[in-house]
Amino acid sequence: MLMSDAETIALRQAMDPDWPALWQIIEPIFRAGETYALDPDIQESTARHLWLEAPSATFIAESEHGDALGTYYIKPNQGGGGAHVCNCGYIVSPQAQGMGVATRMCLHSQDEARQLGFHAMQYNLVVASNEGAVRLWQKLGFPIVGTLPDAFRHPRFGLVDAHVMYKRL
């Protein structure tokens, strides 16, 4: 699939039977420890709870042949007075990198956020060394509103900055 074929990517809400396909995408990213502030030795049951059970909604991106290409979740960023701002996490399968999957999921998540009544979207910890994600989020209208010095312990680069990115919906 080419980047121009991103419109052929289907997005649907993930269900319990999708977990094995989601875990296949999520596990190598969590284990690498380069982009999510989670223990790289996270138990599968804990990851399942964080990604599939706790969020307001979790989605799976699939090719026209039904192959899992990526996934994202959406949830309130805070409770109470901050519950109108959502947070999302995105993971694209290494085999689907460069196909427009992250762009498609981000645009989809903004529509879903609006439908769920959220007024804004905030990414709390975008690791600065994840330059592709930083560029993409900026391109899609998420400016860096703050930088947290040395906020992430990267397994290869040591302490690196992390950005807070925010967009009104």
| pLDDT tens digits for range 21-69 | 999 999 999 999 999 999 999 999 999 999 999 999 999 999 988 999 9
Q: 120-127 and 57-62: which strand pairing?
A: unpaired
In a domain, 27, yes or no: yes
In a domain, 104, yes or no: yes
The reported pLDDT for the residue numbered 8 is 83
What DSSP string describes 125-165? EEETT-HHHHHHHHHTT--EEEEEEEEEEETTTEEEEEEEE
| pLDDT tens digits for range 57-104 | 999 999 988 999 999 999 999 999 999 999 999 999 998 999 999 999
Q: 158-168 and 120-127: which strand pairing?
A: antiparallel
In a domain, 102, yes or no: yes
Distance between start and end Cα atoms, the chain = 30
In a domain, 153, yes or no: no
Note whether 25 and 123 are within 8 A (CB): no
Q: Tokens standing for 71?
A: 């996934």
Lowest model confidence (mean pLDDT) among 62-66, 77-81, 147-151, 152-156: 62-66
C-alpha span between 79 and 24 (Å, rounded)? 31
Domain with 113, as residue range(s), is 3-119
Residue 4 has pLDDT above 80, yes or no: no
- The rounded mean pLDDT for the chain is 94
Residue 30: which CATH number?
A: 3.40.630.30
Average pLDDT over residues 107-112: 97
Name the phi and psi angles at 92, rounded to 5: -110, 135
In a domain, 161, yes or no: no
Instruction: Work out the number of other CB atoms within 10 angstroms of the CB of residue 55.
Output: 20
Q: What is the pTM of this model?
A: 0.92
The reported pLDDT for the residue numbered 6 is 57
In a domain, 131, yes or no: no
pLDDT band at 1 (very low <50, low <70, confident <90, very high): very low
Total domain count, the chain: 1
C-alpha span between 100 and 15 (Å, rounded)? 23
